[in-house]
């Protein structure tokens, strides 16, 4: 172990006021199994539970050559089936107990709900729909032929969309040591960047999105971030009430 001596720098290091403190905290954060721990089991479990996006990504990046049904089976259903028993069997590795996983699963219901409600005014004011892709997803999952604008394709696409938002929410709660507004917005921005990069190139291949599309993508993910931050507070409120 490095000897620090008795000088002023060493005193600051021990008192935690040194600039090195930030570095130590940061590296510790990525290894801390009780929160953070991106490089350990928490990172693995977050990746497995965010897998609904992997299934859709394969569908996008192959320009729909791989159906969303295939992507959802291999890159969503199976990863989640691996994640849930592993989390339950290895609570000592990640600090996540089955009860905690259930809590995260409940918390993750609010962010994507607010995300969708946040997009409603954009449709009413600017005419930007947000459910148009759900028809494509539902038709790809079910192998629908002929017209795809049906309620069964719409609801299947909606289920796929919900699963994706829920997965991102659970992944966030697994990866953060503490739910804060700053980390929630950081997650919202990460999702916005991904959305901005992927959609114009791989998804909206028939047209260039106007600026209002970029604004709507940003706005809705910021609402998602607010949901991430708000959900534990709502949960705590109702748990006290009942």
Partner 1 sequence: MDKGSDSAGYKRSWKTTLYAVLAMQGFGLVFGSVVFGAVVTSQPPSAYPVFGYGKPPPILIDGLSSFYWAIPGAVIGFIFLYLAMISRNLPVPMRSKMGSSVATLKTMNEKGD
Residues that bind partner 1 (CB under 8 A): 15, 17, 34-35, 95, 100, 103, 107, 173, 176-182, 185-186, 189, 192-193, 196-197, 200-201, 206-211, 214, 218, 231-233, 235-236
C-beta closer to partner 1: residue 61 or 235: 235
C-beta closer to partner 1: residue 208 or 241: 208
Distance CA 107, CA 169 (A): 8
Smallest gap, in angstroms, from Cβ of residue 158 to partner 1? 20
Distance CA 210, CA 166 (A): 28
- Dihedral sign for Cα 211, 190, 137, 67, please: positive
Q: Measure Cα distances from 58 to 160, 208, 209 in Å.
A: 14, 22, 22
Q: Measure Cα distances from 97 to 12, 105, 211, 236 in Å.
A: 37, 12, 44, 18
C-beta closer to partner 1: residue 84 or 198: 198
Distance CA 222, CA 209 (A): 19
Cβ atoms of residues 174 and 41 within 8 Å = no
List the helix and strand counts (H, then E) for the chain. 13, 0
């Amino acid at each position: 172990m490095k000897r620090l001596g008795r000088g002023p720098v060493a005193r600051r290091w021990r008192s935690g006021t040194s600039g090195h403190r930030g570095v130590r905290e940061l590296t510790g954060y990525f290894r801390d199994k009780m929160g953070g721990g991106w490089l350990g089991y928490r990172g693995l479990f977050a990746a497995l539970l965010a897998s609904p996006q992997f299934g859709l990504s394969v569908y996008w990046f192959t320009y729909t050559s791989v159906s969303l049904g295939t992507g959802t089976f291999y890159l969503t259903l199976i990863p989640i089936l691996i994640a849930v028993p592993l989390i339950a069997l290895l609570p000592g590795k990640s600090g996540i107990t089955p009860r905690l996983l259930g809590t995260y699963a409940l918390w993750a219901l609010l962010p994507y709900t607010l995300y969708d409600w946040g997009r409603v005014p954009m449709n009413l004011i600017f005419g930007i729909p947000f459910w148009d892709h759900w028809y494509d997803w539902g038709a790809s999952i079910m192998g629908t032929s002929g017209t795809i604008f049906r309620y069964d394709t719409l609801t299947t696409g909606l289920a796929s969309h919900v699963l994706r938002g829920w997965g991102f929410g659970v992944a966030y709660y697994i990866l953060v040591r503490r739910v804060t507004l700053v980390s929630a917005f950081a997650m919202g921005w990460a999702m916005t960047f991904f959305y901005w990069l992927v959609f114009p190139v791989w998804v909206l291949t028939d047209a260039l999105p106007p600026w209002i599309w970029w604004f709507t993508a940003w706005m809705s993910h910021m609402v998602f971030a607010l949901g991430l931050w708000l959900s534990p507070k709502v949960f705590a409120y109702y748990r006290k009430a009942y």
